[in-house]
Structure 1
Amino acid sequence: MKNTMKKPVAIPVKKLRPFAGHPFKVKDDDEMNTLIESIQTQGILSPLIVRPIEDTDKYEVISGHRRLHAAIKAGIAEVPALIYALDRDAAAIAVVDSNLHREHILPSEKAFAYRMKLEAMSRQGHRSDLTSDQVGRKLETAEIIAQQSDDSKSQVRRYIRLTYLIPEFLEKMDNNEIALSVGVELSFLDEQSQREVLEQCEMNDCTPSYSQAWRMHKADRESALTKATIQTIMSEQKANQRETMKVPISRLREVLPQGLDAKKTEDFIIKACDYYRKYLIRQRNRDER
C-alpha cells in the first residue's frame, strides 16, 4: 500500500464511511464501552487507515471500524487517519488482512472475509473457482490466502462454503450450536432444503449431527433429498440430545463472560449452578435455625 500522506491527518468523522460490504461486526458490547472510555480519556492512539472514495471528498475505512464507531459514540468530531490511495479490490484485501488476526472473530465473519478476499484477488487476475462444490480443490488463490492466514487451503475453502448457509444457520455457527463440519455439509443444500432442516431443528429441539448433515448432502447429490427424507433423518434421537434443556442464547449473553468457547461455557454454567445450589442450602439452613 502506498501512503499518500506520510503522517496522520485529522479527518472529520462525517467524511468517513465504513468499507462497503465488509463482514466484520461492530457491536455495542463491554469491549466497545471500554474502548469508548479509553478514547474519551486518551484519544485515538492508533490512526485509522482510509482510502479516498473516487470523485468525492469522502473516505472509506480500511482499518479502524471499531475505533470510528467508538469515536462517534464518544462525541469526537475528528479522528487521526493515514490515507492510502487504493482501488476497490486492493482495499478489500487490506480490510480482510487487517481484521483476520483479531482475538475474537466469528465463523461467519471469517467466512465472508475469505470470500471477499478471494473475489477481489480473482478480479486482480488470480485463478479461482467460487462455483466449485469440491472442498479442498487446489486453487492458486486459496493457497495464497492460506499462506497469509492461520488456516490451511482446505480450511479456507470450508469457511467460504459457509457463506452459502441461510442466516439462521450462520447464527447457529456463531453461537457454537453447530460445528464447522456440519455447516459445510448443510451449505450444499439449496435454501428451501436448508429451511426444511431448520424447521425440523425447531420441531425436534435439536441440531444436525455431522452424520445427519452428511447423509442429507449425499441424498441431495443423488437427487433423492425430499422433505420426507429430511424429516426421517432429523427425527432420529441422538444420545447427546436426550433430556436436554434449551436456554435462549440471548439470555446467556447477558450473564456469561465474553470469549468462552462451547466447553468453557458449559463448565461455567455448571459451576454457577453448583454455587447457587450451595447458596440455597445455606439460606435454607439459616431459615431453619
Structure 2
Amino acid sequence: MASRVAGKIKLQSVDELLGVPEIAGTQEIEIGRIHAFPNHPFKVLDDEKMDTLVDSIRENGILNPVIVRPDNSGDYEMISGHRRLHAAGIAGLKKVPAIVKEMSDDEATIIMVDANVQREEILPSERAFSLKMKMDAMRRQGARIDVDGTCCTECDKSGKKTASIVGDQVGLKARQVHKYIRLTELVPEILEFIDQKKITITMGVDLSYLNEQIQKWVYEYYKDNGFLKPVQVEALKNYPNLSNATQQSVISIMNDALPKKSVSAKITFSEKKLDKYFPSHFSSKDRENIIIQLLEKWSDEQGQTI
C-alpha cells in the first residue's frame, strides 16, 4: 500500500513489500543462475547511468541485494534488480547478493512492478506495460462473486475498481491508468516515438484504436515526412470504415487534414527580361520604382475608361 507524504505518493520499499529485513537472509548467487522476469517491461540500457552504476559496483560492490525467487529448475528468477545484475556482469562479478523468497506468479508480478516503478525516470512504454501486468495480476487475485452471482474481475474484495487501486499506488487517476494501458495496443515503432516524445500520449491513445496495419502506415508516413499532427490523427480516428482503407487513402486522409496554405500571387521577372527596358546603370530599386509608377498610371487610366 502506498502512503502520502506532503501531498506526494510514497511507495513502500521492496523490503517492506516482501516483509524481510534489508540485509538479513541474503545469499551469494552466481549471476549465470539468475534469469530475467518473463516479459519484464523495464528497459535495461547501456547509458551513462549504467556506466555510473558499474563504476559504483566496482568500487563498493552491490550495496542492496537483488530480489529473486526459485524456479522449477533449481535456478532463480529475477524480481527486482535487473539493472544491478547487468551492471555486476559488466563489472566482472561472478556472484551477487540476493534475497530469495517464494512467491506466486501474481505476487511476483506485483512486487516486480512496484519495485521498478519507483525509479525517478520511467518511460511511457515501461509505465504502460507495467501497469497492465500489475492490473492483470490484481484482477486474478481479487476476482470475487458479486451478490447477484456474477463474477467481478474489475474490483477487489471491497468492490473498488482495480484501476483506481493501481492508480492510487502510483499517483494516477483511474482514467490515466486506462490511457497508459491503451498504449500497449500500439505497434512497437509508434510506441518508441512516444518514448522519444515525438508523439504525445494522447495521440498514441487515439492511434491505439486503429488496427495494426493502419498503425504501420502511420509510422511510415511519419518516417517519410518527419511529422504527425493531432489533426491528422483525429481525421483517421473519425474516418468511417478506415479498416478497409488502402495505404494511399490513409495518406490522402492525413494530407487533407492539414491546414491549406494560402497561395499568394507572385510574379517574378528575370534580369535578362528587364535589361531590355532599363539602362544598365539602373539599380534594382530604380527599376522597382519605375515599374510601380507605370502600374499606378495604368491603374488610373483603367479607372477613367470604366
Q: TM-score, normalised by structure 2?
A: 0.69
Matches within 5 A, 1:53-68: 53=71, 55-68=72-85
In the aligned structure 2, how far is the partner of 1:97 from the partner of 1:157? 18
Q: Secondary structure at the match of 2:142?
A: coil
Q: Which residue of 2 aligns with 1:187?
A: 208
Displacement of 1:172 after TM fit?
0.3
Q: Which residue of 2 aligns with 1:122?
A: 139
In the aligned structure 1, how far is the partner of 2:206 from the partner of 2:234? 6
1:128/1:139 contact within 8 Å kept: no
The answer for unaligned runs of 5 or more in structure 2 is 1-17, 144-151, 260-306
The answer for unaligned runs of 5 or more in structure 1 is 130-137, 240-289
Displacement of 1:12 after TM fit?
1.2
Q: CA RMSD in A?
A: 2.2
Q: 2:255 aligns with which of 226, 235, 238?
A: 235
1:215 aligns with 2:215: no
**CA deviations over 1:88-142 (Å, ceiling 9, x no partner):** 111011111111121111111111111111111222234457xxxxxxxx98111
Q: Secondary structure at the match of 1:81?
A: strand
In the aligned structure 1, how far is the partner of 2:209 from the partner of 2:181? 12
In the aligned structure 2, how far is the partner of 1:6 from the partner of 1:86? 18
Displacement of 1:85 after TM fit?
1.0
* Residues 96, 118 of structure 1: alpha-carbon distance in 2 compared, 3 angstrom cutoff: same
1:93/1:117 contact within 8 Å kept: yes
Displacement of 1:144 after TM fit?
1.0
Displacement of 1:224 after TM fit?
4.4
1:162/1:187 contact within 8 Å kept: yes
Q: State the AA in 1 paired with 2:253.
A: I
Q: Secondary structure at the match of 2:127?
A: helix
**CA deviations over 1:234-272 (Å, ceiling 9, x no partner):** 225857xxxxxxxxxxxxxxxxxxxxxxxxxxxxxxxxx
In the aligned structure 2, how far is the partner of 1:35 from the partner of 1:224? 48
Q: Which residue of 2 aligns with 1:19?
A: 37
In the aligned structure 2, how far is the partner of 1:200 from the partner of 1:181? 19
Q: 2:172 aligns with which of 147, 151, 156?
A: 151
Answer with 1 or 2: which has the greater Rg. Answer: 2
Q: Which residue of 1 aligns with 2:194?
A: 173
Q: TM-score, normalised by structure 1?
A: 0.73
